[in-house]
A and B are shown apart, each in its own frame.
Chain A
């Protein structure tokens, strides 16, 4: 028996039920929650018991009946994503569809300490920044990280015009690139984040210690931290959840885009793909030579962000 199992057993047997649900002061965590195992080390029964407990806990905390699945990856599938940056109009519909689908924390009107989270960030870049400036402006760019000729430091993250798209602007949405060689996974001290067989990088929100090393390691700024308890209005909670995906997170843990694992493992498209009004977002199985994504990679001008880092993203940008 592994040491952890042993400790758990001792805790569980010596402590009768009420003790198991005792809560540790200040952090407000039950003994049951504290002694929960790493997701990958749980047996099927253990998973079931944990899911039951979690559904109960979410009900107590948010007053909503949720359904948490643990659907595993399908064989022969590795998901890939492609985004047409010539088409993107910068409307941010994907951003908000993602927030809703994935139960991201909202800014609460009456709680200034609530923590608004978006997994997708859309950058606005002035087309003129891609061209040499005038003599007064100085020819060339000043500083920054270049992506396909775009200096990221010169992009605008909080653009807010009356109407998009604006003339002379282009837009680059960025979210987790689902790296084949993910630095975030390499640095995590607890193995709380890992690559699933279908290529998705997931986080066990009950295992992450919140050290934020992965946030420092991610070259795409794709990870978000729960600086406080998530705030989601009760009626906006999406009850169709996955343990590794959109179930509601905790204070003090990291989260990120999972290509909507709760949808894609059930044969549906990610929410952002469906939300995009101009069809700029494409999604499919990289292992299937006939898939749309493979066709795009084969036929379009494709690039990935920061190729030089060797992270091998499974998120492709393309132009017609």
Chain B
């Protein structure tokens, strides 16, 4: 009993210390936080406006009934899944270079999941009824509906990625080694990471109504694109941390180099899968090529040209290929300036491909042949910016705590004494 009470007291101390760490910093830190908070406030305002007027404030209509929110959701689930690329080498292969950056990965997963889930909240028409799909209190259509699976695996993954780093930090804070049971959850998180993006791909791949999505390549492509864009974002974060904070000494160049190679290889696989898809669809040239044709070349109907996504598709391809070139050549891969460029091109390229490039053409033309073009409305952009800012805000706060405790700069007064 006494032990439990002490544990609770320690844990509360840990929570309060964390809050304190998260809220103290230099001027640059506050400016960064304040700008994120501003975006979140704007996004919330736009969201309330949308709640009151309905999704009519978006650019979506019956013809294209999913848009920017679901695009963004899909992309960030991928980012979340890619944390496994740091966890697995460290814990399965004991790759020590990743020891220090593993919390960056785990908390990036948390932040990405927060972004993904808030985009779902933004997308549903009746947010106050969401409980209808939860187990025990609602009527979840399990196991039939992939959306139910997705909610389950995403929340499970969120839980794992809060538990694992949280527990390790707590132990560090009170000056103890983590117990062995946490390993179970660490190993569990590895297949779980793959599962979240597989299930997300299955949401699309299972729909016979949409030939553009109805391909067995969907899940492999999802994983490949996640495993290149995720590490790319991670590298960008690490480069920023190295440049602007005193944690630079902990982030080894070797760790970054390894991540860069992972980014490169996954991107090559991703492009290969894209090639397979393009070949199969265009060479066989069945009637089902129409959506892919819309994406890359646009469609013509009654003398009118519909090609809103064409520039996005080619830009994305160009960005991906350029990033491969920059990553392939050792000189540009090891130079942090060109590496940063490669990673930015990579992440934005995948965001375009997997977001708008994946979701929207699935709806064009409609299953009964109407061609209708979607463009996100201003409101959608504001709300999406809010969700992303919200994710980064949480990420910043969590990293601040993690890195301070890991560096031994914050310890429980009694740490190591009892």
Could you tell me which A residues sit within 8 Å of B by CB distance? 3-4, 7, 24, 26-29, 34, 38, 41, 113, 115, 121, 123, 143-146, 151-157, 174, 183, 186-192, 207-213, 215-221, 223-229, 250-254, 306, 309-310
Q: Give 14 new A-B contacts, CB below 8 A, not counting A189-B133, A220-B367.
A: A26-B52, A34-B128, A144-B365, A145-B287, A152-B367, A155-B369, A189-B141, A189-B147, A190-B132, A216-B363, A217-B209, A221-B370, A224-B62, A306-B367
When the two chains form their complex, are residues B144 and A208 in contact, meaning their CB atoms are under 8 A apart?
no
- Give the residue of A41, A229, A306 whose beta carbon is less than 8 angstroms from that of B139: A41
Across the interface, name the chain B residue whose C-beta is closest to A193: B141
21 contacts between A and B (CB under 8 A): A3-B136, A28-B52, A34-B128, A143-B299, A151-B369, A152-B367, A152-B368, A183-B209, A187-B206, A188-B141, A189-B151, A190-B129, A209-B124, A211-B147, A213-B147, A215-B65, A216-B210, A218-B209, A219-B208, A221-B366, A226-B125
* CA A306 to CA B62, docked complex, whole Å: 20
Check: B75 CB closer than 8 A to any chain A CB: no
> Least Cβ distance of A1 to chain B in Å?
12
Closest 10 CB pairs of A and B: A210-B125, A252-B125, A152-B369, A219-B209, A189-B147, A228-B56, A227-B56, A228-B54, A190-B132, A153-B369
Chain B 139-161 per-residue mask, 1 if CB under 8 angstroms from chain A, else 0: 11100111110010000000000
* CA A282 to CA B196, docked complex, whole Å: 47
When the two chains form their complex, are residues B140 and A121 in contact, meaning their CB atoms are under 8 A apart?
no
Check: B332 CB closer than 8 A to any chain A CB: no
Check: B290 CB closer than 8 A to any chain A CB: yes
- Give the residue of A38, A121, A144, A155 whose beta carbon is less than 8 angstroms from that of B287: A144
* CA A29 to CA B131, docked complex, whole Å: 15
* CA A297 to CA B139, docked complex, whole Å: 38
Chain B 115-137 per-residue mask, 1 if CB under 8 angstroms from chain A, else 0: 00000000111111110110011
Check: B182 CB closer than 8 A to any chain A CB: no
Within 8 A of A (CB), among B45-100: 48, 51-58, 60-63, 65-66
Across the interface, name the chain A residue whose C-beta is closest to B50: A26
Check: B382 CB closer than 8 A to any chain A CB: no
- Give the size of the chain B interface in residues (CB under 8 angstroms): 60
A143 surroundings in chain B (CB, below 8 A): 287, 289-290, 293, 299
B146 surroundings in chain A (CB, below 8 A): 187
Check: B302 CB closer than 8 A to any chain A CB: yes
When the two chains form their complex, are residues B126 and A250 in contact, meaning their CB atoms are under 8 A apart?
yes
> Least Cβ distance of A313 to chain B in Å?
13
When the two chains form their complex, are residues B56 and A113 in contact, meaning their CB atoms are under 8 A apart?
yes
When the two chains form their complex, are residues B62 and A215 in contact, meaning their CB atoms are under 8 A apart?
yes
B132 surroundings in chain A (CB, below 8 A): 38, 190, 192, 207, 209
* CA A197 to CA B287, docked complex, whole Å: 36
* CA A186 to CA B146, docked complex, whole Å: 9
When the two chains form their complex, are residues A221 and B367 in contact, meaning their CB atoms are under 8 A apart?
yes
When the two chains form their complex, are residues A29 and B128 in contact, meaning their CB atoms are under 8 A apart?
yes
- Give the residue of B140, B209, B365 whose beta carbon is less than 8 angstroms from that of A153: B365
Check: B362 CB closer than 8 A to any chain A CB: yes
Across the interface, name the chain A residue whose C-beta is closest to B149: A189
- Known A-B contacts A115-B56, A221-B368; A144 and B209 likewise in contact (beta carbons under 8 Å): no
A123 surroundings in chain B (CB, below 8 A): 368-369
* CA A128 to CA B243, docked complex, whole Å: 67
A144 surroundings in chain B (CB, below 8 A): 287, 290, 365, 369
Check: B337 CB closer than 8 A to any chain A CB: no
> Least Cβ distance of A226 to chain B in Å?
7
- Give the residue of A24, A115, A218, A229 whose beta carbon is less than 8 angstroms from that of B128: A24
> Least Cβ distance of A126 to chain B in Å?
11
* CA A191 to CA B132, docked complex, whole Å: 9
When the two chains form their complex, are residues B62 and A225 in contact, meaning their CB atoms are under 8 A apart?
yes
| Residue picked from B123, B206, B365, most chain A C-beta under 10 Å | B365
- Give the residue of B53, B127, B206, B362 whose beta carbon is less than 8 angstroms from that of A228: B53
When the two chains form their complex, are residues B210 and A153 in contact, meaning their CB atoms are under 8 A apart?
no
> Least Cβ distance of A290 to chain B in Å?
33
A174 surroundings in chain B (CB, below 8 A): 368
* CA A156 to CA B304, docked complex, whole Å: 13
Check: B341 CB closer than 8 A to any chain A CB: no
When the two chains form their complex, are residues B287 and A151 in contact, meaning their CB atoms are under 8 A apart?
yes
- Give the residue of A190, A217, A253 whose beta carbon is less than 8 angstroms from that of B125: A253
> Least Cβ distance of A253 to chain B in Å?
6
A228 surroundings in chain B (CB, below 8 A): 53-56
* CA A148 to CA B78, docked complex, whole Å: 40
When the two chains form their complex, are residues A209 and B126 in contact, meaning their CB atoms are under 8 A apart?
yes
> Least Cβ distance of B372 to chain A in Å?
9
When the two chains form their complex, are residues B147 and A227 in contact, meaning their CB atoms are under 8 A apart?
no
B58 surroundings in chain A (CB, below 8 A): 227
When the two chains form their complex, are residues B207 and A220 in contact, meaning their CB atoms are under 8 A apart?
no
* CA A145 to CA B61, docked complex, whole Å: 21
Check: B301 CB closer than 8 A to any chain A CB: yes
When the two chains form their complex, are residues B370 and A157 in contact, meaning their CB atoms are under 8 A apart?
yes
Check: B371 CB closer than 8 A to any chain A CB: yes
Across the interface, name the chain B residue whose C-beta is closest to A227: B56
B210 surroundings in chain A (CB, below 8 A): 216
- Give the residue of A3, A209, A309 whose beta carbon is less than 8 angstroms from that of B209: A309
> Least Cβ distance of B47 to chain A in Å?
9
* CA A254 to CA B129, docked complex, whole Å: 14
Check: B376 CB closer than 8 A to any chain A CB: no
* CA A228 to CA B49, docked complex, whole Å: 12
- Give the residue of A146, A190, A225 whose beta carbon is less than 8 angstroms from that of B138: A190
> Least Cβ distance of B62 to chain A in Å?
5
B293 surroundings in chain A (CB, below 8 A): 143
When the two chains form their complex, are residues A26 and B51 in contact, meaning their CB atoms are under 8 A apart?
yes
* CA A186 to CA B143, docked complex, whole Å: 10
- Give the residue of B130, B299, B362, B366 whose beta carbon is less than 8 angstroms from that of A209: B130
When the two chains form their complex, are residues A187 and B145 in contact, meaning their CB atoms are under 8 A apart?
yes
- Give the residue of A191, A217, A218 whose beta carbon is less than 8 angstroms from that of B141: A191
When the two chains form their complex, are residues B369 and A251 in contact, meaning their CB atoms are under 8 A apart?
no
* CA A254 to CA B124, docked complex, whole Å: 11
B290 surroundings in chain A (CB, below 8 A): 143-145, 153
When the two chains form their complex, are residues A210 and B124 in contact, meaning their CB atoms are under 8 A apart?
yes
When the two chains form their complex, are residues B367 and A145 in contact, meaning their CB atoms are under 8 A apart?
yes
When the two chains form their complex, are residues B56 and A190 in contact, meaning their CB atoms are under 8 A apart?
no
> Least Cβ distance of A118 to chain B in Å?
10
* CA A153 to CA B132, docked complex, whole Å: 37
